[in-house]
Structure 1
Amino acid sequence: MTANLIKQTHLDAIIIGGGACGLMCAVQAGFLGKRTLILEKNDKVGAKILISGGGRCNYTNMYATDMQFISNNPHFCKSAFSQWSVEDTIIFFETYGIVGKEKTLGQLFPETDSAKDIVNVFTGLCRDMEQQIWCNTEVKNIESDSNGGFIVSCERNGCEEKIYAPKVVIASGGPPIPKMGATDFGLRAARKLGMQVTETAPALVPLTITGKDQEWYEALSGNTIFCRVSNDRISFEENILFTHWGLSGPAILQISSYWRPGETINLDMLPHDNILQIIDAERVQNGKRPLGGLLSSLYTRKFAEALAKYLPIEKNMASLTKQDMESINNLIHHFKVKPAGDKGYDKAEVMRGGVSTDELSSKTLESKKIPGLYFGGECVDVTGWLGGYNFQWAWASGFVIAQGI
Structure 2
Amino acid sequence: MQIETLILGAGAAGMMCAAHAGPGTVVIDHAKAPGEKIRISGGGRCNFTNLGVEPGCFLSQNPHFAKSALARYTQWDFIELVSRHGIAWHEKTLGQLFCDGKATQIVDMLRHEMTAAGAELWLRTALVDLSHDGARFTAVLEREGARRSVSARNLVLATGGRSIPKMGASGLACDIARRFGLDLVPQRPGLVPFTFADGRFATLAGLSLPVRMFNERAGFDEAMLFTHRGLSGPAVLQLSSYWHEGEPVQVDLLPGTDLSALLHEARRSRGRRALVSELQGPLPARLVPLLAQEIDLSGNIGDLSDRRVDALVQALKSWDLRPQGTEGYRTAEVTLGGISTDALSSKTMEAKTVPGLFAIGEAVDVTGWLGGYNFQWAWSSGAACGRHIAQSATSR
Q: TM over 0.5: same fold? A: yes
2:84 maps to amino acid: T
Equivalent residue for 1:165, pick from 152, 165, 181 = 152
1:219 maps to amino acid: T
1:228 maps to amino acid: R
**Aligned twin of 2:213:** 229
**Aligned twin of 1:319:** 303
Is the Cα–Cα contact under 8 Å of residues 267 and 304 in structure 2 kept in the other structure? no
The answer as to 2:19 corresponding to 1:27 is yes
**Aligned twin of 1:4:** none
**Aligned twin of 1:174:** 161
Deviation of the 1:344 alpha carbon: 0.7
Is the Cα–Cα contact under 8 Å of residues 312 and 324 in structure 1 kept in the other structure? no
The answer as to 2:332 corresponding to 1:348 is yes
Deviation track 1:239-267 (CA, whole Å, cap 9, x = no partner) reads: 11111111111111111111011111111
The answer as to 2:127 corresponding to 1:143 is no
Is the Cα–Cα contact under 8 Å of residues 214 and 251 in structure 2 kept in the other structure? yes
Alignment of 1:180-199 (within 5 A): 180-199=167-186
Q: Could you tell me how far apart the structure 2 residues matched to 1:17 and 1:64 are?
A: 24
The answer to which of 126-135 and 197-206 deviates more is 126-135
Is the Cα–Cα contact under 8 Å of residues 305 and 313 in structure 1 kept in the other structure? no
Q: Could you tell me how far apart the structure 2 residues matched to 1:96 and 1:238 are?
A: 32
**Aligned twin of 2:72:** 83
Q: Could you tell me how far apart the structure 2 residues matched to 1:78 and 1:188 are?
A: 26
Deviation of the 1:165 alpha carbon: 1.2
Q: Could you tell me how far apart the structure 1 residues matched to 2:339 and 2:151 are?
A: 24
Deviation of the 1:128 alpha carbon: 4.2
The answer as to 2:104 corresponding to 1:120 is no
- Give secondary structure in 1 for the equivalent of 2:201: helix
Q: Kindly tell me: are residues 312 and 358 of structure 1, through their superposed partners in 2, closer, same or farther at Cα, counting changes over 3 Å? A: closer
The answer to which of 233-242 and 276-285 deviates more is 276-285
1:85 maps to amino acid: T
Deviation of the 1:314 alpha carbon: 5.5
Is the Cα–Cα contact under 8 Å of residues 13 and 166 in structure 1 kept in the other structure? yes
Deviation track 1:10-58 (CA, whole Å, cap 9, x = no partner) reads: x32111100000111111223xxx3311101110000000111111110
Equivalent residue for 2:258, pick from 263, 269, 274 = 274
Equivalent residue for 2:32, pick from 39, 43, 55 = 43
Q: Could you tell me how far apart the structure 2 residues matched to 1:144 and 1:216 are?
A: 53
Is the Cα–Cα contact under 8 Å of residues 200 and 230 in structure 2 kept in the other structure? no
Deviation of the 1:284 alpha carbon: 2.6
Deviation of the 1:176 alpha carbon: 0.3
Q: Could you tell me how far apart the structure 2 residues matched to 1:150 and 1:166 are?
A: 6
Q: Kindly tell me: are residues 129 and 357 of structure 1, through their superposed partners in 2, closer, same or farther at Cα, counting changes over 3 Å? A: closer
**Aligned twin of 1:383:** 367
**Aligned twin of 1:98:** 87
Equivalent residue for 1:18, pick from 5, 10, 15 = 10
2:104 maps to amino acid: K
**Aligned twin of 1:252:** 236
Q: Could you tell me how far apart the structure 2 residues matched to 1:347 and 1:215 are?
A: 18
Equivalent residue for 1:56, pick from 26, 45, 53 = 45
2:138 maps to amino acid: I
2:185 maps to amino acid: T
2:328 maps to amino acid: G
Q: Could you tell me how far apart the structure 1 residues matched to 2:308 and 2:222 are?
A: 28
Q: Could you tell me how far apart the structure 2 residues matched to 1:177 and 1:313 are?
A: 42
Aligned residues: 389
Deviation track 1:107-150 (CA, whole Å, cap 9, x = no partner) reads: 011122x111111111223334442111111113321136x111
**Aligned twin of 1:3:** none
The answer as to 2:287 corresponding to 1:295 is no
The answer to which of 285-294 and 82-91 deviates more is 285-294
Alignment of 1:207-218 (within 5 A): 207-210=194-197, 214-218=198-202
Identity %: 40
TM-score when scaled to structure 2? 0.94
Is the Cα–Cα contact under 8 Å of residues 341 and 364 in structure 2 kept in the other structure? yes
Is the Cα–Cα contact under 8 Å of residues 69 and 381 in structure 2 kept in the other structure? yes
Q: Kindly tell me: are residues 359 and 311 of structure 1, through their superposed partners in 2, closer, same or farther at Cα, counting changes over 3 Å? A: closer
Deviation of the 1:91 alpha carbon: 0.7
Is the Cα–Cα contact under 8 Å of residues 45 and 100 in structure 2 kept in the other structure? no
Q: Which runs of 4+ in 1 moved over 6 A?
A: none
1:173 maps to amino acid: G
Deviation of the 1:93 alpha carbon: 1.1
Structure 2, unpaired ranges of 5+: 390-396
